Amino acid sequence: MFRSFSPARIWTLASATVTQLVRMKIMAFLLVFCVIVVAAGFAFPVMNPEQQLKLLKDVSFGALQVFSVVIAIVSTALLLPRDLEDRTLYTILSKPVPRYEYLIGKLLGVLVLIGAGLILMDIAFSAVLWLRQNIVFAQALAALKQEGTATPETIAQLQEFVGRQGLTWNIHLGVLAIFLKASVIAALSLMISCFASSTLFTVVIALLTTIIGHGQGLIREYFLSEGMNQMMKKAGSALLAVITPDLGVFDVVDTIINGELVSAFSVGVMVGTAAMYVTGYAVVSHLLFVEKEL
């Protein structure tokens, strides 16, 4: 008989998963990210201030999203096959560890790794953006003084512009949105790996589902035409949301790049949507894994 639910066992599994993934050189992307951010921050000084800051944010957020999606899919797809190959899974399950704790521990380990990586990259991104915005402000202020237009009003406008386009709390909300999206994709990949016949199958299906999830809005517009009644539209939208996660909910990066604010309501919707999908995929993963012959 298994003992009652144990957070300590789950955390032990999660810690072991993080160690396992680090040994697989998963975090090597961090170095690549730092090079990309520094290059984006200082490679195009001839652009105007708005273009410089927007380019830095655009490239950095793009790298953050690629990192999170790749790690979410590849690391999760590798976990079960690697544990089966190394026979680690049999050792774990032969002890008083229920299968659902094993799955939760593995998923938590992946999310901890993604979260830690995003935090480190957020720090590097924020440092470069802060430095770049100060350089941009100094250059623009020098230009105003040279032109003789450095009035209190123009300086205030310049400060307001740089403050809006530079380092704000919105940047960190964008990183949070990327983490929530990666959490959903990781849970989805875990579910697929519970019935997949190979790692490649898991990676391909998870990647295709992620692409479809980003395009749910376009799919609704194309297939759920205006000629359909409201009942059919709602049923079609619900079915589509069940088959693939609606990842468009987490797409706030463009808003942040343009210097616009992300509302508290949007953050709440993202957190609630991520919790719903992660919980649902985790439950289905357990149902599939319980029936899986090892």
CA 32 to each of CA 35, 41, 86, 111, 191: distance values in angstroms, whole numbers, following the listed order: 5, 14, 30, 20, 30
Which residue matches tokens 């899974």? Answer: 89
| Closest C-alpha to 160, from 146, 131, 140, 143 | 140
Whether the predicted model's global pTM rises above the 0.75 cut: yes
Centre a 10 Å sphere on the Cβ of residue 158 and count the other Cβ atoms it contains. 18
The residue length of the chain stands at 294
The better pLDDT of the pair 181, 48 is held by 181
Element (H, E) at 194: none
Q: For 147-169, how does the pLDDT look when each residue is reduced to its tens digit (9 = 90+)?
A: 777 778 877 877 777 777 778 88
Whole-number mean pLDDT of the chain?
A: 80
pLDDT higher than 80, residue 132: yes
Q: Which helix (H) or strand (E) holds 216?
A: helix 216-223
Please say whether the beta carbons of 292 and 195 come within 8 A: yes
Best CA proximity match to 71, nearest among 206, 174, 192: 206
Rounded distance between C-alpha atoms, residue 156 and residue 163, angstroms? 10
Please, which pLDDT band fits residue 95 given cuts at 50, 70 and 90?
Answer: confident
Helix and strand counts by DSSP (H, E) for the chain: 12, 0
CA dist 33 and 57 (Å) reads 13
Return the minimum-mean-pLDDT range out of 31-45, 59-73, 150-164, 202-216.
31-45
d(CA 122, CA 250): 17
pLDDT in tens, 201-235: 888 888 888 888 877 766 666 665 555 566 666 66
Phi, psi angle pair for 238, to nearest 5°: -65, -40
Phi-psi region of 66 (alpha: psi -120 to 50; beta: other; left: phi over 0): alpha
Instruction: With cut-offs at 50, 70 and 90, classify the pLDDT of residue 270.
Output: very high
Predicted confidence band of residue 1 (pLDDT cuts 50, 70, 90) = very low
128: confidence class by pLDDT, cuts 50, 70, 90: confident
Contacts of 213 (CB under 8 A, 6+ apart): 244, 245, 246, 247, 248
CA distances for 199 relative to 55, 75, 102, 202, 278, angstroms: 36, 10, 19, 5, 21
CA distance linking residue 236 with residue 134, whole number of Å: 50
- Looking at mean pLDDT, say which of 2-16, 46-60, 61-75, 169-183 comes out highest: 169-183
Cα–Cα distance, 196 to 289 (Å, whole number): 11
Instruction: Name the residue with higher pLDDT: 52 or 272.
Output: 272
d(CA 37, CA 56): 7
Is the pLDDT at 41 greater than 70, yes or no? no
